[in-house]
Structure 1
Amino acid sequence: MELTEGRVMTEQGPSFDPRRCTLSIPNELAYLEMVQGFVRDYVQRVGFDRCDQARFDLLVEEAVTNVIQGAYADGERADLSVACERVPAGVQITVHDDGLPYDPSLTPEYRPDADLDSQTAAGLGSFLMRQMADVVEFHNLGSLGKDTVFVKYLDSPSVADAGPPAEAAPLEAPEPVQEPQRIELWIADMRPEQAIDVCRCIYDAYRYTYVNEHMYFPDRVVALNKSGDMLSAVATTVEGEVAGHAALVFAEDTREIADLAIVAVKAKFRGQSIARRLGEYLETAAHDRGMHGLYIEEVTVHTYTQKFCHRLGFADCGFLLAYVPAITSYKGINEKLDSRGADIMGYRYLRPPQDVPLYVPERHRDMVAALFANLGAPFTAAPSSAAWGAGNGAAGPDPDGPPADPDGSSVDPDGPPTELHTSVNVRRAVATIRIPVYGADL
């Protein structure tokens, strides 16, 4: 247990926030009474009477119990924090955890007039919190975890301040779960109501280190699939649990090719060939759409993903050096990278590739020819390729004329200007610059 003074960051550095006090505890119910005493003492200082203090006891019990029992696997060790903060005319309690993603919209609503047998404990817990607090909110913070927040106001204004919050200790990685016996699985497109289970699957495989932060927000996962920017497939057990996920991720300007990505399998279901089956399902979907091909980024920190890609027929064609942040972890496979990692680029043609002339610098021709041979694609070097080589004495485009295309034609000075598309993946710490159109101004 840890109790410290709250800090806020300013331009001059950290400073103290006298209104906020935070308690950090292990995710064990044995600490519940300690949390209740902490909150009770704080709200008493703010000005709440004994009757209200008893309500806070129940609020804390519901919120903390829900987190401990619902956000972590049995035996998983972690910390959670409870923060008390003075707000105008009342107090705000925030329970923060880094456990499983949660979608409150999927919790059945508790109805006091309905039959008791049709009610759920989760629905009752949410109902009780809403009855006892003036405001109850659930905040999905993506890779930063989630907050359960409730606010209760004083019957009459009172003035009180308190001090100290705690920084939660880092979570310890759970031990890998033993592989189960073979089970029956169904592979299908993701349904909207399964989005929260997909987020939990990502969490199980990567904790909060996955670089695509959209995958921690169920509503974003649904929206991406609805817009056609992503096609999610899930492997589901007969009991309805999502065991694995993979997706086709499309670039903003084409639906002809896609990235086979966001492959995640829960640790307890590994060894069932789920990733391969999801990949084959999505490959069939791409065939049915008449797509040209698929590409994939193969993680080099372990060989499984490379074997998985080769079994699906992908051929290596390049490297993405220092592409994977060191924060990325693979639960049960590699808990931490020593430095930024590299990805191997793989590609699979879904249609026979066309034989078109390629303008390649002479010094790179053998390497490019080898890459195309590995892809099973024809390679024809255009006759003027040598003009692109350095120091080979070949004549290039007229230096006094307009800039030329690789095929020797000049760029129209009155044509459209160059288009530069830039994007930054903050979590990956990688920037991408794309040039879909280049003009005389380039």
Structure 2
Amino acid sequence: MRNHSLSFKLTAPCDMAALPLVLAYVREAAVLVGFAGDDISRIELAVEEAVSNVVQHAFLEDDEPSAFDIVCEQVTLGLRIIIREKGIPFDPGKAPVFEQGEDMEHVSARGMGMALMRQTMDEVAFHNLGTDGKETRLVKYLPGKSVHPGFEAQVQDEEPVESALDPRSAGSAPAPNTPPNTPPDSPPDTPKDMPPNTPQAIQTPPPRIDYTVRRMTADEAIEVSRSAYKNHGYTFFNEVIYYPERLAEMNAAEEMISAVAVTEDKEFMGHAALVFEDAAARTAEYTFVFVNQAFRNQGCMGRLARFLLTTPAMRPLAGVYSYSVANHVFTQRGVIKLGFRDCGILLATSPTTWKFKGIDEPGTQRISVVLSFVYLEQPSPRRIFAPLHHREMIGRILENIGAPHVLASPPQKPPSLAAQASRIDTKVYPLENCAMIKVHGYGSDSVREVRRILRELCLKQVAAIDLFLPLDDPTTCFVTAELEKLGFFFSGIQPEAGRGDALILQYLNNIPFDYDKVQVFSDLARDLLAYIRRLDPNENL
């Protein structure tokens, strides 16, 4: 009969009253593996310190889901204990380090606890897990080489316990380019932006404080992760935000430009960033915007955005785009004040599980976003081949964003595509349950290939699918109607999308959707929403 390695899991409430139960569970697991005497006491001491850290420091508010898991696993010649929770992100590199001979009065309880864990266990590591929170790993090896007879190690290629902030975890995070359903920014900073029935509208404005806006330093990346957690829990659309080491790497590589607001007392107030899709991109997304609730109504969002829009990047930028949630108008109003202009609406791109702390909202359907754009340099006029039935709306959008382009008449016959192969990219964003299809070049099989991709995505139950078509190619005038027969419908345009502007079509995959719950701010966005609603085949069944 084959022997199997020990593996147990206990879920405990975030309460020190549960500590005796946790220690009893860990003690029995240690005995089963083969530990005895002082080694069991050392394991219990390390677990007590780790659990105390979770109970005292991991959760900020009473309404948070304050429970944690303790996993005991037999590893080769020892025991691994994992304490896993979804509390606020933590950077062990910034924790106080206790040195032998140091004055005990000047060492924090957390610093002492970590020192005890490292003294009593053979390996101690802390891992960020993205949207799954974080974990502490403790490993103790048996003295000698004997293993308890009932549990000989059967594990092959055992995964080692890594050093703090596992780089492989960071490597598993999503690519820095973000899907077209970002970001659920913090609410605006001035009381006049709040509707009269919100608590902020009736509060006395807080006193103004002095603060600095500047580029983020590497050691401040953990504060960005913590800020994301404070504003959205672990529901943010891109889990890279929960890996501070990855944020620091992206900034060092200029894949991302982060700006932070910091008080004179070094308190972290907020963050915003420009994120580039790739090294050749001449546009960036304004995203990852957080202002901690204690510092709202101080003008942080405006100053962060102006800093990013006026600070030279390593390469010249044609423009910046932003996605603002449409279950309230706070962020839409804020970006318009900064000079952005609306050019599209993407429906149901994000799940209802997104949290917006500090904003009371029902969250009864998938979240839609408004796409906005601002030019940083005047574009050269070029020809836009708009499908005739969308020509008027596309013209209005181009005028709204200040584009000098000319709406060209399509040729009488479709261009010949017999010898060309389609160039189409597809990206799926699992956290959002949405996908993006980009047509870079048409071929004779373009419609058939889009149909095939659409079918695959629908079978995977992807909720919302966005399709981007090049407006500098006259073929778009002829292909659009064929794609609309598949169930796609007009959504707007994305300026400066690669080689030029792109027409956006959208497909909703059998999801309930109520247009009356979508809130938009600008006149163009209201007209565009009504236009989209008239064309949506789901609305006209």
Bin for the TM-score computed over the shorter chain: 0.7 to 0.9
Give the match for residue 438 of structure 2: 434
Shift of 1:347: 0.8
**Residue 157 (1) aligns with residue 143 (2):** no
The aligned residue for residue 338 of structure 1 is: 364
Q: Does 1:396 align with 2:422?
A: no
Deviations 1:66-113 (A, max 9, x none): 122222226454111222233333322211110011222222432214
The superposition leaves residues 188-224 of structure 1 with CA deviations (integer Å, 9 ceiling, x where unpaired) of: 1110111111111111111111111111111111111
CA contact (8 A) 1:329 1:335 kept: no
Q: Which residue of 1 aligns with 2:401?
A: 375
TM-superposed deviation, 1:266? 1.8
Identity among equivalent positions (%) equals 36
Counterpart AA for 2:385: Y
1:329/1:288 Cα in 2 relative to 1: closer, same or farther (>3 Å)?
A: same
1:147 pairs with one of 126, 135, 143: 135
Cα distance in structure 2, aligned partners of 1:101 and 1:431: 28
Q: Within 5 A, what are the aligned runs for 1:141-290?
A: 141-155=129-143, 156-159=146-149, 181-252=207-278, 254-285=280-311, 290=316
- Per the alignment, residue 429 of structure 2 pairs with 425
Q: Say how many residue pairs are matched.
A: 390
Choose the corresponding residue for 2:77, options 72, 76, 89: 89
Corresponding residue number in structure 2 for 1:22? 9
- The structural deviation recorded for 1:418 is 5.2
**Residues 1:112 and 1:74: Cα distance change in structure 2 (over 3 Å):** farther
Runs of 4+ in 1 over 6 A off after TM superposition: 176-179
Q: Report the RMSD for the aligned CA atoms in angstroms.
A: 2.9
| 1:353-410 superposed Cα distances (whole Å, 9 cap, x missing partner) | 433332222221111111122223335322x33x4xxxxxxx3257xxx44xxxxxxx
The 1:76–1:33 alpha-carbon spacing in structure 2 relative to 1, beyond 3 Å, is farther
Unaligned segments of structure 1, at least 5 residues = 1-16, 162-175, 388-394, 404-410
What do residues 217-273 of structure 1 show as CA deviations (whole Å, max 9, x unaligned)?
Answer: 111111111121111111112232322111101121534211111111222222222
Match of 2:51 among 64, 78, 93: 64
Asked if 2 retains the 8 angstrom alpha-carbon contact of 1:287 and 1:350, the reply is no
Provide the residue aligned with 1:348 in structure 2: 374
Larger Rg: 1
Question: C-alpha separation between the residues in 2 aligned to 1:180 and 1:193?
Answer: 29
Shift of 1:183: 2.8
Q: Secondary structure of the residue that 1:196 maps to in structure 2?
A: helix
Distance of aligned partners of 1:325 and 1:334 in 2 relative to their CA distance in 1, 3 Å threshold: farther
Tell me the residue number matched to 1:55.
42
Aligned 8 A contact 1:89 1:158 in 2: no
User: Residues 296, 276 of structure 1: CA spacing in aligned structure 2 closer, same or farther, 3 A cutoff?
Assistant: same
**Number of the residue aligned with 2:524:** none
Contact 2:81 2:138 in 1 (8 A): yes
**What does the per-residue CA deviation read over 1:134-192, in whole Å, with 9 as the maximum and x for residues that have no partner?**
2212121111111111122233422457xxxxxxxxxxxxxx99986433221111101
Question: Partner residue of 2:166?
Answer: none
Decide whether aligned partners of structure 1 residues 203 and 336 sit closer, same or farther in structure 2, where only a CA change above 3 A counts.
Answer: farther
Match of 1:391 in 2: none
Which deviations, in whole Å up to 9, do the C-alpha atoms of 1:26-83 show, x marking residues without a partner? 2222322332233223323444323223222311221011122222226454111222
The alignment's TM-score, normalised by the length of structure 2, stands at: 0.66
Which residue number corresponds to residue 93 of structure 2?
105
The equivalent position to 2:387 in structure 1, one of 336, 361, 364, is: 361
What CA distance in whole angstroms lies between the structure 1 residues aligned with 2:239 and 2:319?
26
Q: CA deviation at 1:316?
A: 0.8
